[in-house]
Amino acid sequence: MSNRIFSFAPIIDESSEVLILGSIPGVKSLEKQEYYGHPQNVFWKIIFELFAENVTDDYQEKLEILKKHKIALWDVIDSCERKGSLDSEIKNENANDILRLLEDYPNIKMIACNGQKSYKNLIKILGKNFAIPIVALPSTSPLHTIPFQNKFEIWKQIKHPFLLKPSEG
C-alpha cells in the first residue's frame, strides 16, 4: 500500500537566480527532513565541487552554501502517493504552484530540473516555450547510473544561468 507524501517548503530568497526542481523527496530525505538526504545521492557532492566549497554534513551549512550561490530548491510535485522512492511509482500527484513561486521571486534566471520526472512535469505546467530557460539535468539519484564525472559536467550549466537563452520548443 502506498502512502500520501508531501514535498518540503521551497528553499529560496530574494537573491535566488537558479531554481533547482526535483520531483518529490525520497524516503530517506523524508525521514531526515532534508532535501537530497539519501547518503548516495550526489546532489550535495556536485554543489560542493561546482562551487569549490568545503564538504559538510550539516544541513544548515549546506543551505547557506546554496544561498551564497543564489540557488533555490523545490519540487515540482506537492503531494502524491508513492511506494518506496522511485519516481516510476508516483501516482495521484498534485503539482506545486511553480508559477506563483516565479512571480514571487522574479530574479530567477534559470530553472534546472533534477531528472526527467521533474522536467516532464514542469513542461506540463509551464510549456516548452517558457520565458525562463529550463534545462533537464541527469538525476543525482543513486539509481541513475551515469558516472559522476559525466553528471558533474552537465550540471555545470547551473553555474552560469545568464549564458542560457529562453527555452525553445
Q: Which of 117, 122, 70 is nearest to 98 (CA)?
A: 122
Total number of domains constituting the chain: 1
Would you say residue 87 has pLDDT above 80?
no
Mean pLDDT of 63-78: 97
- Whether the CB-CB separation of 161 and 17 falls below 8 Å is answered with yes
Would you say residue 89 has pLDDT above 80?
no
Would you say residue 86 has pLDDT above 80?
no
Please report, for the domain that includes residue 20, its CATH number.
3.40.470.10
**Is 169 part of any domain?**
no
Q: Respond yes or no: is residue 150 known to be catalytic.
A: no
The model's pLDDT over 6-52, given as tens digits with 9 standing for 90+, comes to: 999 999 999 999 999 999 998 899 999 999 999 999 999 999 999 99
pLDDT at 128: 80
162 or 77: which leads in pLDDT: 77
**What 3-state class would DSSP assign to 76?**
coil
Q: Give the count of alpha carbons within 13 A of 143, CB side only.
A: 10
> Cell digits for 68?
551564497
Domain interval for residue 120: 3-161
**Is 50 part of any domain?**
yes
Instruction: Using the structure block, give the residue that is written with the C-alpha cell 530574494.
Output: 14
**Is 166 part of any domain?**
no
**Is 168 part of any domain?**
no
The pTM for the full model equals 0.90
Q: Which of 13, 16, 12, 20 is nearest to 107 (CA)?
A: 16
**Is 167 part of any domain?**
no
**Is 87 part of any domain?**
yes
pLDDT at 2: 58
Average pLDDT score, the chain: 90
Would you say residue 160 has pLDDT above 90?
no
**Is 11 part of any domain?**
yes
Question: Which is catalytic among the residues 3, 41, 92, 107?
Answer: 41
The model's pLDDT over 93-112, given as tens digits with 9 standing for 90+, comes to: 999 999 999 999 999 999 99
pLDDT at 166: 47
Instruction: Count the Cβ atoms, other than its own, within 10 Å of residue 12.
Output: 20
